Amino acid sequence: MSRFAAWAKKQQEDQAEGLVLAGIPIESLPKRQLEPFLVDNSLLASHSAGLRYRSARDLVDKNQALKSARWGSVVWGVLDEDGQWLKLKAGRYLPVYIGGIQVLKVLPSAPPREDSDDEDRQIAENETRLGTLKVPSMFRPVTEDASVEALGHGALYHVVAERVAVREGPSLGAAAVSSLRRGADVEVFGWDDSRLWRRCREQRTGLLGWLLLDHPDIGALIRPKGCPICSRPLEPLCAAAGEGRVEDLRRFLSAEPYGVAVAARDIQGRGPLEVAAAAGHLDCIVWIVEAGADAAEALDKCRDRGESLAQAAVLLAALAGRSPDQAALRAVLAGLAPQERHAAEAMATARRRGVMAKDDLLEAMEEAATDVPDSPQLRPELPGALGAVAAAAEERLQATEATEATEAPKVPKLGVLYEVVYDAIWIRREPNAKGDKLTKRVKNDRLRVLGLDETQNWGKVHVNVREGELEGWVMLHHEELGELIRTCVDDDDEGGLLKPASL
């Protein structure tokens, strides 16, 4: 039998019997049941441009009139019962295997197709190329078991370079999954350890991969959609704060000494705390303040810019030691996760105690200011007015202190004030170098030592951590590093060094 006769016979069989899937002829299947497949060359490693269409279910019967389905492209069709052939339309097939090697792989995460009455137009859309890249490896699908749900919520970015490669891993040497052209949107998730790459999901195919944020030679590749485009690399900490990615944010904060990471600024000059507040990410606010950011400063800057902070303003005010509306504060704290809520409550309590004396002074000055004449003729010059206010406030405070002194003696604070003289030290749960770490203090920080252990080399302190106020221990002197903390002049009301009996 000639080749043409064999082909004609097979065509008659197809027309008589039809391709059946689960007992249903393929012609009667709605288009929404067509499945997407990736034309994959990762295993075959062919040097050809793509996979040739067949006019029938026969490897020899190549359709020379049609261009190949390019490696890395996505096609839509229905598998036959044996799973050996994919039918895209009448007289157009693709083999699932070549020489026993799979070259078509299903894409289960791809979005569903919309119905279309124009089959030829639909086939053309199915064969839209993802683009070719000048890379040593062929296009490959991501094979790891990962889901968008496991990656958390994403942020929408868009491509600002001419074309970028979506890669299997966070490396320029990783195989390319697909490519994106300028203006294309892509959803990004967390960062890699270098903070130069971000996990991404290619929206059209649903494939997961990695995108480089900035190329060392080309410059910016992707940027947040709707934000001003800048050539300067993005600050990861500020980006995480603005997107509400708590896990990445805490990872970035813990990698730097206390108070260092929060000094980062975005392209608009905003710190991570201001960015998180403007975006309303309350959980991020808690950890940024816990890492050393100034809540009062951030609150004032946001208000100066006219930003409406809503619940973020209530939380910042509490963390700054101010007195926000208690009902609103309770509502804000109730909306936080237990870990963030406990940390926020501990910090708010500690900061409120620390600013009570300052608040009392300001209140006294405000009350005294009401006695200054409002008339321009009677009001002194500005320095004199300020001096009158300060003098009146001082008199009130002296009178209050005198009254308190006659009523009961002041109880001095216990402990000795120490200052950290080494770059950074750990406060541990037990008085030994292997004890669990509670928190960190950096150079020039001060802490009050309440007593010493038996070795006389560990000082007992109280610290505020996420679990609340805890007792910890700090090493005074290290055999190799030398002095870690030393006593300093106490700057509280009593003055001097206050030593308890245990010292």
- Does residue 208 lie within any of the structural domains? yes
Give the pLDDT score at 115. 39
The single-letter code of the amino acid at 378 is: L
Q: What is the CATH number of the domain that holds 252?
A: 1.25.40.20
- Average pLDDT score over the chain: 76
Residue 366 dihedral angles phi and psi, to the nearest 5°: -65, -40
Same domain for 328 and 376: no
d(CA 418, CA 498): 11
- Does residue 492 lie within any of the structural domains? no
CB-count burial class (<10 Å; 0-12, 13-18, 19+) for 285: buried
Same domain for 209 and 185: yes
Taking the alpha carbons at both ends of the chain, their separation in whole angstroms is 107
Same domain for 357 and 244: no
- Does residue 498 lie within any of the structural domains? no
Same domain for 244 and 325: yes
Same domain for 15 and 89: yes
Give the pLDDT score at 243. 92
Same domain for 334 and 291: yes
Count of domains observed in the chain: 5
Q: What is the CATH number of the domain that holds 189?
A: 2.30.30.40
- The Cβ of residue 194 has, within 10 Å, a number of other Cβ atoms equal to 9
Same domain for 120 and 39: yes
Give the pLDDT score at 189. 93
Mean pLDDT for the stretch of residues 388-405: 58
- Does residue 230 lie within any of the structural domains? no
pTM (two decimals): 0.47
Same domain for 335 and 359: no
The encoded tokens of residue 422 equal: 């080494």
**Percent share of the chain, pLDDT over 90:** 20
d(CA 249, CA 279): 14
| Residue 370 host element (H or E) | none
- Does residue 98 lie within any of the structural domains? yes
Final residue in a domain of this structure, among 156, 189, 224: 224
Higher pLDDT, 306 or 85: 85
Give the pLDDT score at 86. 92
Same domain for 21 and 121: yes
The encoded tokens of residue 184 equal: 């294309």
- Does residue 143 lie within any of the structural domains? no
- Does residue 479 lie within any of the structural domains? yes
- Does residue 451 lie within any of the structural domains? yes
Give the pLDDT score at 72. 82
The residues, any chain, with a CB within 8 Å of residue 397's CB and separated by 6 or more, are: 360, 361, 364
pLDDT digits (tens, 9 = 90+) for 123-168: 334 333 434 433 333 334 444 444 556 777 889 999 999 999 888 8
The single-letter code of the amino acid at 385 is: A
| Residue 198 host element (H or E) | strand 197-201
**Can you say how many angstroms the Cα of residue 379 is from the centroid of all Cα atoms in its chain?**
55
The encoded tokens of residue 481 equal: 């590093």
Same domain for 11 and 120: yes
Most confidently predicted of 228-237, 238-247, 409-418, 477-486: 238-247
Residue 172 scores a pLDDT above 50: yes
Same domain for 301 and 362: no
Mean pLDDT for the stretch of residues 479-491: 79
Same domain for 240 and 297: yes
Domain that holds residue 176: 148-224
